[in-house]
Amino acid sequence: MKLAEELPITSDVFIRVAVDAPLHRFFDYRAPTALPAGTLVVVPLGRRRMVGVVIASGMPAEVDAARIRPIEQVLTDRPALAPSLMDLAAFCARYYHHPLGEILAAALPPRLRDAKPYRPATSYLTLTAAGRAALDRLPARAHARRRVLEWLAQRAGATREELRAALPTAPALVPQLEQLGWLARSAKQTPAAVADLPGPTLTPEQADAVRVLEAGLGRFTVYLLHGVTGSGKTEVYLRLLQRVLSQGRQGLVLVPEIALTPQFEAGMRARFPGRRVVSLHSALSEGARAENWLAAASADIVLGTRSAVFTPMPGLGLIVVDEEHDASFKQQEGLRYSARDLAVVRARQAGIPVVLGSATPSLESWQQAERGRYQRLSLRQRAVSGSLPPRARLLDLRREACADGLTATVREALQENFRAGRQSLVFINRRGYAPVLYCPACGFVLPCHRCTARLVWHRSSGRLKCHHCGHQEAVPAACPQCGQPELLPLGQGTQRVEEALASLMPRARIRRIDRDTMAGRAWARFGEAMRAGEIDVLVGTQMLAKGHDFPGLSLVVILDADGALYSPDFRAEERLFAQLLQVAGRAGRHGEAGEVLLQTAFPQHPLYAEWLAGDYAAFARRQLAERERLGLPPFVHQAVLRAEAPRMESALQFLARAASLVPRPQGVDMFAPAPAAMRKLAGLERAQLLVQASDRAALHRFLDAWRPVLETLRPQAARWHLEVDPLFS
What would the pLDDT profile of 322-370 be if each residue is shown by its tens digit?
Answer: 999 999 999 999 999 999 999 999 999 999 999 999 999 999 999 999 9
672-675 CB contacts, 8 Å cutoff, 24+ apart: 675/648
Partners of 513 in the β-ladder? 540
Angle, helix 129-137 to helix 143-153, in steps of 10 degrees: 130
What was the pLDDT predicted at 128? 82
CB 689 within 8 A of CB 644: no
CA 46 from centre of chain: 36
How deeply is 563 buried, as exposed, middle or buried, from its count of CB atoms within 10 A (0-12, 13-18, 19+)? exposed
Share of the chain above pLDDT 90, in %: 64
What is the average pLDDT value for the chain, to the nearest integer?
89
For residue 6, list its beta bridge partners. Answer: 73
Specify the higher pLDDT residue, 65 or 247: 247
Sign of CA dihedral 449, 450, 452, 457: negative
Q: How many helices (H) and strands (E) does the chain have?
A: 20, 32
- Which amino acid, one-letter code, is at 435? P
Q: How confident is the model at residue 729, as a pLDDT?
A: 61
Please state the pTM of the whole predicted model. Answer: 0.87
**Rounded alpha-carbon distances, angstroms, from residue 251 to 72, 211, 243, 355, 366:** 37, 18, 10, 11, 24
CB 489 within 8 A of CB 457: yes
Per DSSP bridges, beta strands 316-322 and 250-254 are parallel
Give dist(CA 698, CA 693) in Å, integer. 7
Q: How far apart are CA 44 and CA 187, in angstroms?
A: 35
CA distance 313 to 293: 10
Where are the CATH 3.40.50.300 domain residues in the chain? 204-379, 391-434+491-625
As a whole-number percent, the residues of the chain with pLDDT over 70 amount to 94
Instruction: Report d(CA 74, CA 43) in Å as an integer.
Output: 9
pLDDT, tens digit, for every residue of 38-79? 999 999 998 999 999 999 998 887 777 788 999 999 998 888
Edge-first strand listing for the sheet containing 40-45: 27-31, 13-19, 48-57, 40-45, 73-74
Contacts of 595 by beta carbon, 8 Å cutoff, 6+ apart: 390, 391, 392, 393, 413, 554, 555, 556, 587, 588
CATH topology of domain 204-379: Rossmann fold (3.40.50)
pLDDT tens track for 652-675: 999 999 999 999 899 999 999 999
**Predicted pLDDT at 63:** 73
The residue type found at 548 is H
Q: What distance in Å separates the CA atoms of residue 282 and residue 280, rounded to the nearest whole number?
A: 7
Averaged over 228-232, what is the pLDDT?
88
Domain formed by 637-724, architecture:
2-Layer Sandwich (3.30)
**DSSP class of 200:** P
CATH placement of domain 13-113: 3.40.1440.60
Q: Are 224 and 365 in contact (CB under 8 A)?
A: yes
Contact 352, 220 (CB under 8 A): yes
Supply the pLDDT for residue 386: 66
**Is 424 in contact with 554 (CB distance < 8 Å)?**
yes
Give the lowest-confidence range in 137-146, 167-176, 431-440, 597-606: 167-176
User: Quick one: which of 559, 558, 555 has its CA closest to 594?
Assistant: 555
Angstrom distance (rounded) from CA 169 to CA 163: 9
pLDDT at 586: 81
Q: Is the peptide bond before 447 cis (omega within 30 degrees of 0)?
A: no
Which helix (H) or strand (E) segment holds residue 268: the answer is helix 261-271
Mean pLDDT of 190-219: 87
Give the closest residue to 342 by CA, choosing from 93, 148, 36.
93
The phi-psi region of residue 46 (left if phi > 0; otherwise alpha if psi is between -120 and 50; otherwise beta) is left
Whole-number Å distance between alpha carbons of 374 and 365? 8
Half-sphere exposure of 620 (CA within 13 A, CB side): 20
Cα separation, 380 vs 203, whole angstroms: 11
**How many Cβ atoms are within 10 Å of 622's Cβ, its own excluded?**
15
Chain-centroid distance, C-alpha 234: 17
Cα→Cα distances 194→155, 200, 300, Å? 10, 19, 11
Q: Does the pLDDT of residue 269 top 70, yes or no?
A: yes
Asked if 316 and 249 count as a contact pair (C-beta separation under 8 A), the reply is yes
Structure letter (DSSP) for residue 717: S
Cα–Cα distances (Å) from 632 to 268, 540, 623, 694, in that order, read 40, 33, 10, 9
- The radius of gyration of the chain's CA atoms, rounded to the nearest angstrom, is 28
Residue 8: CA count within 13 A, CB half-sphere: 6
Is residue 45 within 8 A of residue 25, CB to CB? The reply is: no
Q: Give CATH 3.30.70.600 domain extents, the chain.
A: 637-724
Domain with CATH 3.40.1440.60 in the chain: 13-113
pLDDT band per the 50, 70, 90 thresholds, residue 1: very low
The amino acid at 668: V
Q: Look at residue 42 and give its three-state secondary structure.
A: strand
pLDDT at 183 over 60: yes
The rounded distance, in Å, linking the Cα atoms of 490 and 493 is 10
For residues 577 and 383, give the distance between their C-alpha atoms in angstroms, rounded to a whole number: 22
pLDDT, mean of residues 675-691? 94
**What fold does the segment set 391-434+491-625 form as a domain?**
Rossmann fold (3.40.50)
